[in-house]
Amino acid sequence: MRVTQSMVTSTATIYLMRDLDRLQAAQQKIATGKNYTLASDNPIAATQILHYSSRIAESEQYRRAIDSGLAWNEMTSSALTQVEELLSDILDVSQAVSDGAATSAERAQSAGAINQLLEELVMLANRKFKGKYIFGGDETLTAPFTANYDDAGTLVTGVTANPNGIDGLWGYLVSDVDTVTINTPGSEVFQPNGEGANDDVFVILTDLRAAHEQNDLDALHTQEERLREAILSVADVNAGVGNRINHLESIGEDLDAAVLSYEAQRSELEDADIAEAIIEYNTAENIYQAALASTARILQFSLADYI
């Protein structure tokens, strides 16, 4: 084949450019640490990378929701434990004077103690976490319980719940399909059968206090029995919260494992193997240098040098 100078020049230029392009691609891989910069570099991998990235982001969001749910439930559980203890204290106070030996004066005194503990319980039932009433249901910004006092302003005559309802449930989305209920409504803890029912904790306590005041032993024993049941019921609720905490923790662990696996798969696709990239770079550099050297030489020769 006839070869002309301009063929040599243009071929040399084309190959030099290709070699340089390859060198640049290898350099880019090292500099960015990524295998691909455009979707067209590898459309399938690009789609998978996108998919994994959005799954990871989503899982991290679920993880945050779980953490926030765990914090809420731990706070709920600690409040419930305090409620249990407070109710037990009241029972203790009452039992100290519940046999026939105690005098009416002693019972009047214990009535005062019960009243004080009842006020404490109302405060506990109105406890807030992160600015929200723990036992307010979905009416998180309104105190769930209001204590009403007698004319003297000392005795709690009754406790009324927020008329808008304290039984609202709310949950968090912790996976694509699971919405887990997070809150424990105050009604479940303090008024399982509604305000004013026999098992309304506040009714039990006001009645118990009244029994002490009036020195009514029968009523006293009835209310003590109801209080015992109420303590068990709060303990049950607390156990349920504990189960929920375990459930959330196990979902969280599953999520962590899933995120790890997504990250590993994404990294497999996305991250450049630096050792391999450097070898690629060195190869490209050698080829480029060899091409430069040979191009420089081949363009020097001419018959003119010999005539």
Give contact residues for another protein (rule: CB under 8 A). 1-7, 10-11, 14, 32, 34, 36-44, 46-47, 49-51, 53-54, 57-58, 60-62, 64-65, 68-69, 130-132, 136-141, 164-165, 168, 170-173, 176-177, 179, 182-183, 270, 302-304, 307
CB of 165 to another protein, least distance (A): 7
CA nearest neighbour of 97 among 111, 117, 83: 111
CB of 261 to another protein, least distance (A): 18
Nearer to another protein, 138 or 216 (CB): 138
CB of 3 to another protein, least distance (A): 7
Nearer to another protein, 151 or 176 (CB): 176
Residues 6+ away with beta carbon under 8 Å from 295: 12, 15, 16
CA nearest neighbour of 62 among 269, 287, 283, 259: 259
Nearer to another protein, 68 or 82 (CB): 68
CB of 297 to another protein, least distance (A): 16
CB of 270 to another protein, least distance (A): 8
The sign one gets for the Cα dihedral 277, 279, 284, 285 is positive
Nearer to another protein, 34 or 228 (CB): 34
Nearer to another protein, 5 or 218 (CB): 5
Measured CA to CA in angstroms, residue 5 lies from 1, 12, 102, 209, 294 at distances of 13, 10, 123, 113, 15
CA gap 267, 160 in Å, rounded = 58
Residues 6+ away with beta carbon under 8 Å from 127: 79, 133, 134, 135
